């Protein structure tokens, strides 16, 4: 494995997520027992897909010298049970004004091939192990 993301408990249902030199927070909503100080891990999961699609779409538009102002991505999702999971994600890619009709199919094809979407279509193997080793990450504190 080449890249590492580390997570550590802060308090309650709040955690810090270290990604390279960046620190993100996750929490649970108040009605789920958390403090609602940050998105949930599931929200970040769906956000990751939406952001990846936005990135690929913007790169496509810029590469073809097409407008990028006004590019948007909206994501809606549903939960499934047994096992608990996101069971469906709907994505709406908002196309900027000025993008010609004859480029839309190619834009959609590129958006559907983003890394996160590809990872959902061909899921990675996931291995979960126990460890008593301290994290090697130097943690910048976020409060």
Residue 68 lies in a domain: yes
| d(C-alpha 94, C-alpha 126), whole Å | 33
Q: Domain span at residue 21?
A: 5-121
Quote the CA–CA distance of 59 and 23 in Å, as a whole number. Answer: 25
Model pTM score: 0.89
**Which residues, in sequence order, are bridge partners of residue 76?**
90
Tokens of 59: 């790169």
CB 122 within 8 A of CB 114: no
Q: Residue 139 has which token pair?
A: 């943690």
Domain membership flag for residue 95: yes
CATH number at residue 111: 3.30.300.20
Return the sign of the alpha-carbon dihedral for residues 62, 66, 71, 73. Answer: negative
In a domain, 58, yes or no: yes
Give the total number of structural domains in the chain. Answer: 1
Q: What is the pLDDT of residues 2-56, one digit of tens each?
A: 789 999 999 999 999 999 999 999 999 999 999 999 999 999 999 999 999 999 9
């Amino acid at each position: 494995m080449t890249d590492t993301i580390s997570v550590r408990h802060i308090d309650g249902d709040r955690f810090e997520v270290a990604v390279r030199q960046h620190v993100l927070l996750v929490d649970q909503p108040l009605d789920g027992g958390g403090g609602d100080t940050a998105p949930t891990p599931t929200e970040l999961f769906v956000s990751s897909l939406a952001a990846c699609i936005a990135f690929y779409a913007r790169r496509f538009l810029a590469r073809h010298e097409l407008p990028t102002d006004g590019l948007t991505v909206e994501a809606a999702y549903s939960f499934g049970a047994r096992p608990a999971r996101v069971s469906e994600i709907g994505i709406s890619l908002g196309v900027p004004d000025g993008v010609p009709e004859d480029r839309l199919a190619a834009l959609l094809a590129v958006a559907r091939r983003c890394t996160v979407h590809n990872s959902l279509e061909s899921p990675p193997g996931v291995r979960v192990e126990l460890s008593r080793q301290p994290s090697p990450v130097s943690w910048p504190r976020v409060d």
